Structure 1
Amino acid sequence: MSSKEKYLFHLFITGFLAIAFISCDLSNDDSFQETYSYSFQNNKALAIDTTHRDFGADSTMNLLNVSTIVGNNRVFRYHKNITAPRNIADGGYSETVHFQIPREVDRFKFKNSELSQAKIYFQRSCFCPQIGALKVEYGVIEGQKLSENLWSVSASLQPKGPNETYDIKFEGAFILN
């Protein structure tokens, strides 16, 4: 092989390796990505609707659905979203906690049986059996108004589903939406 042929061969190999290296996906796509949002709205209220679902010939289930309507309260929403890596099908998950307090309140703390005063509901969305929204009856949630547009809220809640109890913990700055 002549020196010119060796040079062209090395140039070809170097170019091939450069293209192969550049085209590799070096991103870390094999991990789950978590995002959180904390928001509240004024002059709103939570509305709870019931949907009846048939699960077989002689089995029905009542699923609760939470929505926000015009009202006289302050409605808070905590949302956690887990995005699965591209190579995992149906691996995503999200959970949402909705609650409301009277608009004139600047500080609150509710524990166990007191949680009904805040009308707290937990919802999840995933490739899993539907449970609808769950009324939260166990745990503690407290918050304080920092400004007209900002609240500090922390919670440790244990909503009970048909087959398991969930452990929901969050602490964050809720922003007016």
Structure 2
Amino acid sequence: MKKSIITAGAIAFILFSCSTGKNTIQSFDNATITNNCTENYDCTFEVQKDKSLVVKTDDTGHNYFNVIDTPGKTVLKYSYKSITDPRIQDAGYTETITFEIDNSTKDLNLTGKDIRKTKMVLNIACFCKGKAGVRKIEEGTLTFKNNKLHIEIPELVEGQVTRVVDVVVR
């Protein structure tokens, strides 16, 4: 019985992990990512309406966040994830930018420290000492005009891949 549960879990993991690298435009949740996603990586964009972001710091000084139900807010999430062999434990690498805006936002132009209004965070998930974790994005550029979202953030950790994100939202 225990073996069949483990086998079923492994099969489900493989099925949900399989995809191909994208060097072309990719659509997700009525949005099109227009910056290239490098080979062996998968880029996605997710829109969560009526949700907000709660960013906290634990007793050890590390940041974490939760997404909670909040009418009138929207959480947006861009992920850059390596495509790895699911049989290799701890081989993955993901960078995710998560932030919130008002549901009614039609235009947005935040630069410098104004980006803090969105509670934007960068989450790096990997088996890499000193690099993994959630970091608050304290400055950068976030514009949304004519259904085009543009994000620029500084390098927060050495080797960070995600610095510029361009998405067309429909």
Q: TM-score, normalised by structure 2?
A: 0.65
- Report the Cα distance in structure 2 between the residues aligned to 1:32 and 1:86, rounded to whole angstroms: 17
Alignment counterpart, residue 165 of structure 2, candidates 153, 160, 170: 170
1:33 is aligned to: 40
2:69 counterpart letter in structure 1: V
Structure 2 partner of 1:68: 67
Long gaps (5+) in structure 2 = 1-37
Q: What residue is the counterpart of 2:49 in the other structure?
A: 42
Distance 1:63 1:83, change over 3 A: same
The residue aligned with 1:158 is 154
- Does structure 2 retain, via aligned residues, the 8 Å contact 1:123–1:132? yes
Tell me the matched-pair count.
130
Give the equivalent residue in structure 1 for 2:116: 116
Larger CA Rg, structure 1 vs 2: 1
Shift of 1:173: 3.2
Is the CA contact (8 Å cut-off) linking 2:123 and 2:133 kept in structure 1? yes
Taking structure 1 as the reference length, the TM-score comes to: 0.62
Per the alignment, in what secondary structure is the counterpart of residue 122 of structure 1? Answer: strand
Letter aligned with residue 58 of structure 2:
T
**Is the CA contact 2:115–2:138 (under 8 Å) kept in the aligned structure 1?**
yes
Whole-Å separation in 2 of the counterparts to 1:156 and 1:109: 12
Moved over 6 A (4+): 86-89
